[in-house]
Amino acid sequence: MVVRPRDGFLAGLGAGVLAILAMLGLRLALDSPSLAELLADRVTLLVPLPLFTAVLELLGAAAKRVLFGTIVLSMVLVAGLLGAVAARSRLGIADGVKWLAGLWLASAGLLLPVLGAGPFGVQTRPGPVATSLGLLVIVAVYGGGFYALAQALRGAPPGAGASAPRRRLVRLLALGGVAAVAAGLGTWWLMERLARQASSAVSTALARGADRLPPEVTPVGQFYTVSKNFFADPVVDAATWRLEIGGRVQQPYALTYDELRALPAVEDYRTLICISNEVGGDLIGNAHWRGVRLRDLLERAGPLPGAYKVVFTCADDYTDSIRFEKAMHPDTLLAYEMNGAPLAPQHGYPARLLVPGIYGMKNVKWLQKIEVVEHDYRGFWQQRGWSDEAIIKTMSRIDTVARSVVSKVEPLLIGGIAFAGDRGIRRVEFTVDGGQTWQEAQLKPPLGPYTWVLWFAAWTPPAPGQYTIRVRATDGQGELQPAVVAEPLPDGASGWHTVALRVLDG
């Protein structure tokens, strides 16, 4: 089959779109990260930290989708280039099959190990057979699509009438354009649909009317969720789930979901906050949890001398670690209930970790394996520049002043939340005159030692005009919340939350 390189490039692009759609379909069928997701994860490791920070600041929550879209577009362009190379080489069918076999072998045997999935996907959840066959399907779809499109794009022989083939070509290109647009829209729709399924009703914002404090216990559907996953988060079947406890221990063992729930339980309130939370942000929530002490699970296994860290592996291949001493703290829990019900899928069902005093990224979800190790271990986000200690910084937020304009001079309830991890909150103050004077707010007793506190104060503007309300908190150890503004990366945001308010002469 003789095809011009230009037509080979176009055929390769079209075949690349088909291969991407096959890849996304297999992503759903196998419930395992696609090649594009593995590439995106690896790219985040290679991006310099200053550039990583700048992209996060610019794009925020959309950064993951933009990165994934860029990776997919790059894969389609590479598919086009491969098509041009194949056309220039004038490969026959037999040579083309050999060429595709080499592409599959290079992807499965060389690319997957580089991306952390192991040779032929041996480290993926579906295993090497399913992963290798999935790659073979993608390569076959690419090869078949390329052959069909190249045949259609091939020019007429010299001296033959070109009118009919050209008309077919125009129709083909028109249909191909429509298909490409539909594929792009379909891919984006699929990403959004899966993301909505994973987060359930989390996208519903917490309604904060003026003069009203947030609920002390966050409803499950309004509790924030963040994960590394580009598509849907994992959905784990509790009937087949096993929690493995091993590593440097005397007696490794595994627990079923029913066995975990049958162990002596602990219940308390905990606040979780994401390390990505901006000053005044809403990536924070408070809930009632039920679970078992991690210490009890580790003591049953019998940690050997020299234990340094405990490593956690999750159903989405996310990993993290905490110091062994922190794991043995009596208030470090393995939770299986939230607000009186089994964990929702987006919050880590069937089991997740709760560690006092550290940011949410280390309170891992969808837990599957616990290992005691003698060495330091850096998890998924730590390899990308985020803090390993991840100690929660003192924060405070104004919630009740939701309106930027007040129609008249009237008493206002100023209030919100304050949180300092496991250090507690001693005092919350606010200022309306640029810090010349500070007024102390009232604190509602916290629900537990590891929860936020609600604070509130009555304030009447002295006259119409523009006011700036700023809040700061002092933790239980007497340390004042830092005023210096810092971005979330690498160890959490800092700074005082500020709200502008205009009071009219009503």
pLDDT in tens, 67-87: 888 888 989 999 888 888 888
* Statement: 220-384 belongs to CATH 3.90.420.10: yes
What are the residue boundaries of the structural domains of the chain, listed by start? 5-200, 220-384, 395-503
The pLDDT, as a whole number, for residue 177 is 55
The pLDDT, as a whole number, for residue 422 is 97
List the chain residues with pLDDT less than 70: 1-3, 49-50, 53, 56-57, 60-61, 154-212, 402-403, 407, 506
Place of tokens 């990224």: 361
Which three-class secondary structure state does DSSP give residue 468? Answer: strand
With beta carbons less than 8 A apart as the criterion, state whether 67 and 40 touch.
yes
The pLDDT, as a whole number, for residue 161 is 46
With beta carbons less than 8 A apart as the criterion, state whether 304 and 249 touch.
yes
**Contacts made by residues 270-274, CB under 8 angstroms, sequence distance 24+:** 270/354, 270/356, 270/448, 270/450, 270/451, 271/419, 271/450, 271/451, 271/452, 272/223, 272/224, 272/354, 272/360, 272/363, 273/359, 273/360, 273/392, 273/395, 273/419, 274/224, 274/226, 274/359, 274/360, 274/361
User: Quick one: tokens of 205?
Assistant: 């914002």
The pLDDT, as a whole number, for residue 268 is 96
The pLDDT, as a whole number, for residue 374 is 97
User: Quick one: tokens of 120?
Assistant: 């032929």
- Partnered with residue 270 across adjacent β-strands are 287
Write out the CATH class of domain 395-503. mainly beta
